[in-house]
Amino acid sequence: MFLEAIALIRTMPCLAEPGRIIVMGKPSQELTDVLPYLAVLPNVISYNPNTASLTFRRQPGFITLLEDRVFITQVKDIEEGLELLSTLVDAINATWDHRHELKPVMEPRRTPRLLDVWSLLPKTNCRQCGEATCMSFAAALLQSKRKLQDCTPLMTEDTFIDQRTTLAALL
Ligand code: SF4
C-alpha cells in the first residue's frame, strides 16, 4: 500500500459548471514516487515529472494530482467528493502494488484538447487578453501564441485558483 488516505481539506464553487464544486484533497504522503506509474493509465492529458503534476480527464471534469495536493473538478457534492477521493486512493494503491508490471513514464506528456482548455477559462469573453473570446484564447494557448498570464481574471481572482492550477499543469 502506498497511501492511507486523501483528506478533503477544501471545496470551492466550480465555475466550469455552476452548481457543482471543486474538491481539494491532501494525500497522507507525497505522491511524487507514484506519479510516473499513474501516468501510464488511460485518460492522462498532461504529465510533467519536473513539476510533479499529472492531470486526468474524467466525465465530467478533471483530476489533477500534485506532489501534495489533489483537485477534482465538477463534483456534484461533498458526498460524491469523498467517494471520489476514496476511489482515487484505491486506484493509487492498486497502481503502486502493480508497479513492477508497469513501465514508468519519465518524460513530459501533453495532450489537452481545445475544449479541455476552454472549459477551465473564466468564459466571460471580456477581451482583456486581446482575444475576442475565451475560445479563441484557448486556441492561442494551445498554439503557444498566448500565455496564461495574458488572462488577467484567471490570474488575479481567487475564485479561479483551481482552474489556474489545472491549466498550468495542462499546458
Ligand atoms: S481575458 Fe480571460 S476571461 Fe477574458 S476573454 Fe480572455 S480568456 Fe476569456
Tell me if 137 sits within 8 A of 148, measured CB to CB: no
Q: Is 1 within a domain?
A: no
Structural domain harbouring 45:
6-109
Tell me if 77 sits within 8 A of 19, measured CB to CB: no
Which of 38, 44, 77 lies closest to 58 in space, CA to CA? 44
For 68, 85, 166, the CA distances from 5, given in Å and listed in that order, are: 12, 8, 22
In this structure, the answer to whether residues 21 and 71 fall within a common structural domain is yes
Give the mutation target among 120, 125, 163 for probing the ligand 1 site: most ligand atoms within 8 A of CB. Answer: 125
Looking at the CA of residue 154, tell me the nearest atom of ligand 1: 2
pLDDT at 163 over 80: yes
In this structure, the answer to whether residues 143 and 162 fall within a common structural domain is yes
Residue minimizing CA distance to atom 8 of ligand 1: 134
Task: Summarize pLDDT for 9-41 with one digit per residue, the tens.
Answer: 999 887 767 789 999 999 999 999 999 999 999
Exposure string over 102-141, b if 16+ CB within 10 A, otherwise e: eeebeeeeeebeeebbbbbbbeeeeeebebebbbbbbbbb
3-state DSSP call for residue 128?
A: coil
Report the CATH number that the domain containing residue 62 is assigned in CATH: 3.30.310
Task: Summarize pLDDT for 65-121 with one digit per residue, the tens.
Answer: 999 999 999 899 999 999 999 999 999 999 999 999 999 999 988 778 888 899 889
Report the CATH number that the domain containing residue 140 is assigned in CATH: 1.10.15.40
Tell me which of 57, 80, 109 is where a domain ends: 109
Q: Is 58 within a domain?
A: yes
**How many angstroms is it from 40 CA to the middle of ligand 1?**
33
CB-based pocket (< 6 A), ligand 1? 121-122, 124-129, 131, 134, 137, 151-154
Tell me which of 109, 130, 146 is where a domain ends: 109
Tell me which of 70, 94, 109 is where a domain ends: 109
Counted domains in the chain: 2
pTM of the prediction?
Answer: 0.75
Looking at the CA of residue 130, tell me the nearest atom of ligand 1: 6
In this structure, the answer to whether residues 70 and 125 fall within a common structural domain is no
**How many angstroms is it from 73 CA to the middle of ligand 1?**
20
Residue minimizing CA distance to atom 2 of ligand 1: 151
In this structure, the answer to whether residues 127 and 105 fall within a common structural domain is no
Q: Hunting for cell 495536493 — which residue is that?
A: 69
